[in-house]
Amino acid sequence: MKNLLLMKEMLPNDYVGFTFFVGCMAMMAASAFFFLSLNQFDKKWRTSVLVSGLITFIAAVHYFYMKEYWAEVGQSPTFFRYVDWVLTVPLMCVEFFLILKVAGAKTDLLWKMISLSVVMLVTGYLGETVYKDSAALWGGISGLAYFVIVYEIWLGSASKLAKAAGGNVLAAHKILCWFVLVGWAIYPLGYMMGTTGWYNSMIPSGNIDIAYNIADAINKIGFGLVIYNLAVQSQKD
Ligand SMILES: *C/C=C(C)/C=C/C=C(C)/C=C/C1=C(C)CCCC1(C)C
């Protein structure tokens, strides 16, 4: 009851709370869409679409907690945020691996991508919470891991596999590469807005949740739809 009253008072001009709320709904709707579509795919593509649904579903559950946290505590739910990322970002690496399996992707590639993403997120978490005074340093290490991921998919072995696969897989891989290069770049910008470092004079500081929430919606739902579309197209041919 207390909770409801609090939310009622906050909603009209609480833009951050609004994006948590809409984010939660959008993630739930996307999960229902992916899960309910599973039957139309044969075995080869079902796993990929299932993983798309898992990514948005895990996010929906975390958004539910994050919107509550924001309404009750009035602070950024950094812990839930990073727990969500540490589960969903490796699953996005799994998606890259699954679509490149047709061209012979090995599990080495999968583990490399997962490890890089975990390094990126753990160092980011440390900079945002435990070692705030050296946020720029931890963010820098995190950024390096991010660049290696970008390199791997754009120019490294993952890109070679995508070229070998050709056709629909290559086209989907390209779009996913753009998601990682542009969509994921919103996160380090958000990080710089919310922490102290050499970048403060160049980037406005402020609440980082709106940036993170918009980025999540684009990256998780958009990414999933690219996979879904790839599955639909490939089954037609
Ligand atoms: C669904 C969630 C996604 C796709 C989250 C992605 C998060 C990142 C790409 C975060 C990257 C960061 C840096 C590159 C440097 C600063 C610290 C982070 C963790 C915000």
Among 69, 83, 76, which Cα is nearest to 122's? Answer: 83
Residue 17 domain boundaries: 2-236
| Residue located nearest, by CA, to atom 1 of ligand 1 | 216
Q: State the CATH number of the domain containing residue 152.
A: 1.20.1070.10
207: left (phi > 0), else alpha (psi -120 to 50), else beta? beta
Question: Model confidence over 147-202: pLDDT tens digits?
Answer: 999 999 999 999 999 999 999 999 999 999 999 999 999 999 999 999 999 999 99
Pocket test for ligand 1, best of 177, 184, 186, 203 (most atoms within 8 A of CB): 184
Asked if 89 and 121 count as a contact pair (C-beta separation under 8 A), the reply is: yes
Measured CA to CA in angstroms, residue 23 lies from 56, 90, 152, 198, 209 at distances of 10, 20, 30, 31, 11
How many domains, in total, are found in the chain?
Answer: 1
Expressed in angstroms and rounded, the spacing between residue 122 Cα and the centre of ligand 1 is 10
Below-50 pLDDT ranges, the chain: 1
| Residue located nearest, by CA, to atom 19 of ligand 1 | 124
Expressed in angstroms and rounded, the spacing between residue 197 Cα and the centre of ligand 1 is 17
d(CA 59, CA 61): 5
Report pLDDT for 206. Answer: 79
Structure tokens at 63: 């958004």
Report pLDDT for 5. Answer: 52
Report pLDDT for 205. Answer: 82
Residues, the chain, total?
Answer: 237
Structure tokens at 193: 């807005």
